Amino acid sequence: MTSTFHGLETSKRSLLVNTASMQTMGHNISNANTEGYTRQRVNISASRPIWQMGMTKSQAPGQLGTGVQYDSITRVRDSYLDLQYRRENQTLGSYDVLNTTMTAIQNIVNEPSDTGLSSVMDDFWNSWETLNRDPSLLSARVAVVGTAQNFTDTLKHISESLTNVTTDTNANIDKKIIEANDLINNIAQLNTIIRNNESFSDHANDYRDQRDLLIDKLSSIVDVQVVEDTEGMVSITSAGVNVVNGADTTALTAANAQTATAGQLNGYVRSLQETDTIRNQLNGMIQTLVTGQVQVTLDNGYVTPADMTALNDVTLEGGATILAGTTIPAGSRITSPMTVEVDGFNGLHELGYTLSDPATAGIPFFVSPGGGPFTIDNIAVNPEIANNTDKIAASSKYETVGGVNKTIRGNSDVAIALVGLRDAVFQFPANLTSLSQGTTDDFFRALTADLGLRAQNIERNFENETNLTTALQMQRQSVSGVSMDEELSDMIRFQQAYNASARVMTSVDEMLDKVINSMGIVGR
């Protein structure tokens, strides 16, 4: 025979299960705005039925239900979405940093604009054209020195700004390494907590949420490959290093940023490469302009300041002919055009004569104060020229008066040749830009165009990754996020189920009251 109190037990189980559901629902609502929280659900099932008991084993078909039980409380989460989100999030982290750096570099180069390097270069060339009209005019010589100094100052400002970007980037790498290692240690600690909790067959839902959130944040900094073992502990490999192995950790170092395949660390490393690229391109342009090999032709009357070698046959004053490739003695006056190969702007300037008496051969117009090759941070106007504009070598001729060689003040052959370098074709170092041969203006345009295209591609990838990551996050929220509408409708469901179970218990109580207090009282 079935127990008299069977109905009470059945109702009690229902009350307990609905109470647990209500408590879980309250936990969900409480954490609706908690970062990384995953909504939880009570998994319930019918409790094991029993035979319909009688005086002997019942022969009636069917079993008697014993109510409801909850099996577990689990998170509503899609691990595949986690995998996708972290994969895109680490790519987004890289492009986010890179996009910021490229914007900074574009602002430094500041092209096209009225104050950028191209404008300063135009002023420099224009000042030489002015000097060309009257090489003895003091204001024209002062303008040449002034625009040249503006040119070198602009280059140094660009160099300093690029150096600041590099310094800030390296500092950010160190900060991100510290942040990543902090996340790694916390993940390992949560690994231990989760293993301890789940070793008793519990579900460490909230701890898993915390760990997943930390892994999400780590994926923004560096690439992550996550593997979970049977004990619920995760192993994480980042930048080629097994940073988390259960409860053990291996700290990342700044050197590991070089092997990061994604994340902000990867973005910072690529930013350093971009900064080096633009610096190398500008260095290549300056080095080529100042010392790059270029051919120039000097007109009749030119007097060689040193032994020279022409690329063509040259006739000297007096009728002698010097064959191409043969040395022309210093002090020779040519009577036919002479084509020579010079070392860029400096080399050509050294072929001219200063304004001072006696006529003196030109000195290098630009110098590298620190020694070594010319770079954007190691170029300056020769101090001798800056302090004495007469040392600008604009003339190619001098005349001998009273035994003294005097520069012909109205001659500007070298100044004309120097202005011609603006349109001269140089050979630029390979692999710096898509242009290996052209004028300096062509090279600078190729440089800025190349920078613009790279920045545009990076910005487009950044926007695409932002949209993709946002979409994946929304998908995760649609699965794991707390919906207040859904939770409140569940609350009504659980509340009514609880009320109905209480009513059943009350009915059973009334039945028992009838049996206990109202039966068997005949004759009382």
pLDDT, tens only, 444-473 = 999 999 999 999 999 999 999 999 999 999
Res 229 pLDDT > 70: yes
Of residues 63 and 307, the one with the higher pLDDT is 307
CA 137 – CA 118 distance, rounded (Å): 26
Q: pLDDT: is 394 or 55 the higher one?
A: 394
pLDDT mean over 411-426: 92
- pLDDT bracket for residue 59 (50, 70, 90): low
- Greater model confidence, 32 or 318: 32
Please give the backbone phi and psi of residue 321, each rounded to the nearest 5 degrees, phi first: -115, 130
Euclidean distance between CA atoms 97 and 482, whole angstroms: 32
Question: Do 452 and 106 meet the contact criterion of CB atoms below 8 Å apart?
Answer: yes
Query: In three state form, how does the secondary structure of 450-501 look?
Result: HHHHHHHHHHHHHHHHHHHHHHHHHHHHHHHCCCHHHHHHHHHHHHHHHHHH
Overall average pLDDT of the 418-446 stretch:
89
pLDDT of residue 58 exceeding 60, the answer is no
- What is the CB neighbour count within 10 angstroms for residue 201? 7
Mean pLDDT, rounded, for 255-266: 97
Residue 61: per-residue pLDDT: 66
Is-contact 236 250, C-beta < 8 A? no
Q: pLDDT per residue over 191-209, tens digit each?
A: 999 999 999 888 999 999 9
Residue 86: CB atoms within 10 A of its CB come to: 23
Output the average pLDDT for the chain.
93
Q: Residue 52 — very low, low, confident or very high, per pLDDT cuts 50/70/90?
A: low
Going by pLDDT thresholds of 50, 70 and 90, the confidence category of residue 77 is: very high
Q: Which pLDDT score, from 0 to 100, does residue 3 have?
A: 78
Q: Indicate if the pLDDT at residue 60 is higher than 80.
A: no
234 DSSP β-pair partners: 228
443 to 119, 287, 368, 434, 463: CA distances (angstroms): 15, 12, 22, 9, 30
Whole-model pTM: value is: 0.90
**All structural domains of the chain with their residue ranges:** 4-76+481-519, 78-288+441-478
Sequence-distant (6+) residues with CB within 8 A of 324 are 310, 311, 312, 313, 314
What does the alpha-carbon distance between residue 457 and residue 445 come to, in Å, rounded to a whole number? 18
Q: Is the pLDDT of residue 55 over 60?
A: no
Strand partners, 248: 245
What DSSP letter does each residue of 286-313 carry, written as one string? Answer: HHHHHH-EEEEEE-TT-B-SS-EE-SS-
**What CA–CA distance (Å, rounded) separates 270 from 462?**
14
pLDDT value of position 100: 97
- Rounded CA-CA distance 408/353 in Å is 9
**pLDDT level of residue 53 (50, 70, 90 thresholds):** low
End-to-end distance of the chain based on CA atoms, in angstroms?
A: 28
Helix (H) or strand (E) holding 409: none
Asked if residue 222 has pLDDT above 80, the reply is yes
What's residue 114's pLDDT? 82
Q: What mean pLDDT do residues 127-147 have?
A: 94
Residue 115 or residue 104, greater confidence:
104
Cis peptide before 358 (omega within 30 of 0): yes
Burial letters for 39-53: b for 16+ Cβ neighbours within 10 Å, e otherwise? bbebebeebeeeeee
DSSP 322: E
Q: Position of tokens 């039925």?
A: 49
For residue 334, list its beta bridge partners. Answer: 316
pLDDT at 494: 96
Averaged over 96-104, what is the pLDDT? 97
Q: What percent of the chain has pLDDT above 70?
A: 97
Q: What is the mean pLDDT of residues 113-137?
A: 92
Query: Residue 503's CB: how many other CB atoms inside 10 A?
Result: 11
Q: In percent, how much of the chain has pLDDT > 90?
A: 81
* Burial environment of residue 31 by CB neighbours within 10 A (0 to 12, 13 to 18, 19 or more): middle
